[in-house]
Amino acid sequence: MKPLPVAGLRVLVVVAAAGERDALVGVLAGAEGVGQVRAAVDAADALRMLDGAEVDAVFVDVDLPGLDGLDLARVIGRFVTAPLVVFVADSAARAAEAFEVAAVDYMVRPLGAGRLAESLTRVARHCRDRGAETAGEQRPGRRRVADVAVVGGGHHRQPLPQPGSAVRWIEAQRDYVRMHTATGSKLVNIAMSTLETAWAEAGVVRIHRSYAVQLAAVSELRRTGKSYSVVVDGRELPVSRRYAHQVRQQLMNGAPDPRNPLARQDARPGATAA
């Protein structure tokens, strides 16, 4: 590979498959102009590393388990000084989405030496253009903006978010939860069980291992055989058997008016609550 316009690039590889991860790390580590290569197995692992190490570029698999590569790129993009992002994928199917989150490059496997060299050159030029070779005076963990909350762990803690009536439903994503509102979503580094306890009085209840909802936001309770689900803002969310009785009772208790469809329809044997 030809020398890069910027020497000593610090690179983080985020790929779940061990063989593909090791191969990419090996090639990058041997590339002229690359100073340091670290590796992470998923998005949560990558964010922990970014909280404690300086990184110029992140080579990330689009299809990571849990938080996928695009979600990770969106979080990284909220850093005041963000590492550059290069996507690696098995097809070009998500290329348009990748460039919407300001990716520097999108590479499709198998990765040839020439294509990887081209990508590294592109990364180095972007670093040179924005003066990234002198960056690193601040820890990346201090670069987060307010809507990426780190609650517990790491070096920089933020207060527990307040639910109010804005949070409609919550989805667990490995070490993080994604809080959905009527206008968007927010990724938060906190355990679902912590939110379940802290927000119980605000009407937020657990309905599944991976989901919690704001009771007031539930527009429909559906029953298919012995299985239940709830609808929030048009999105159907599963209710696990563990929580089904509790959720049903809470919804009924919150709908004493006989004109309320939750109370009216679920009272009929075999009917689907709506």
pLDDT at 138: 41
pLDDT at 129: 76
pLDDT at 102: 81
* Domains of the chain by start residue, with CATH: 9-142 (3.40.50.2300), 149-266 (2.40.50.1020)
- The crossing angle, in degrees rounded to 10, of helices 18-29 and 113-129 is 60
pLDDT at 82: 85
Enumerate long-range contacts of 198-204, CB under 8 Å, 24 or more apart.
Answer: 198/160, 199/163, 199/167, 202/163, 202/164, 204/163, 204/167, 204/170
Cα 140 to Cα 47: distance, rounded to the nearest angstrom? 10
- pLDDT tens track for 129-168: 766 334 444 433 333 333 334 333 333 334 455 665 588 9
- pLDDT tens track for 21-38: 999 999 999 998 899 999
Cα 124 to Cα 191: distance, rounded to the nearest angstrom? 37
pLDDT, averaged per 10 consecutive residues of the chain (274 residues), comes to 63 96 94 92 91 89 91 84 91 85 89 90 84 43 35 40 73 78 77 79 89 92 89 92 90 54 39 40
CB contact at 8 A, 11 and 55: yes
pLDDT at 1: 43
Residue by residue, DSSP assigns the chain as: -PPPSSSSEEEEEE-SSHHHHHHHHHHHHTSTTEEEEEEESSHHHHHHHHTTS--SEEEEETT-SSS-HHHHHHHHTTSSSPPEEEEEESSSTTHHHHHHTT-SEEEESS--HHHHHHHHHHHHHHHHHTTGGG--SS-GGG---TTSEE-SSSS---PPPP-TTTEEEEEEETTEEEEEESS-EEEEES-HHHHHHHTGGGTEEEEETTEEEEGGGEEEEEEETTEEEEEETTEEEEE-HHHHHHHHHHHHHT--STTSHHHHHHTSTTPPP-
Residues, the chain:
274
pLDDT at 6: 57
pLDDT at 239: 94
pLDDT at 147: 35
